């Protein structure tokens, strides 16, 4: 039969739930990876800061590198 069927609404709801469930699974895995990889991530991210501290650099403008953001990035000039 053509036309409206109550099953259509149920199918839409089931598909939406499927999408949400899988999104949550993926985000959980990403967070789990970040949690388990903190030692690797921190070593890479903070090595320059640690080196600067060891060298006695106290002026924060001398630490790190400058990054130019594209205009499409929210908050960039």
Q: Which residues of 27-37 are buried (b: 16+ CB within 10 A; e: fewer)?
A: eeeeeeeeeee
pLDDT of residue 49: 66
Residue of 48, 46, 73, 47 whose CA lies nearest to 62: 48
Q: How many residues does the chain have?
A: 77
pTM for the model stands at: 0.45
Radius of gyration of the chain (CA): 24
pLDDT of residue 33: 79
pLDDT of residue 64: 59
In the chain, what are the domain boundaries? 6-57
pLDDT, tens digit, for every residue of 10-64? 888 899 999 999 999 998 887 877 777 766 655 555 566 667 777 776 666 665 5
């Amino acid at each position: 039969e053509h036309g409206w069927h109550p099953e259509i609404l149920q199918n839409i709801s089931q598909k939406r739930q499927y999408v949400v469930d899988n999104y949550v699974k993926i985000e959980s895995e990403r967070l789990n990876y970040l949690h388990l990889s903190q030692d690797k991530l921190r070593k890479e991210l903070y090595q320059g800061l640690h080196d600067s501290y060891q060298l006695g650099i106290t002026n924060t403008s001398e630490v790190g590198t400058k990054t130019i953001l594209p205009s499409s990035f929210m908050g960039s000039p």
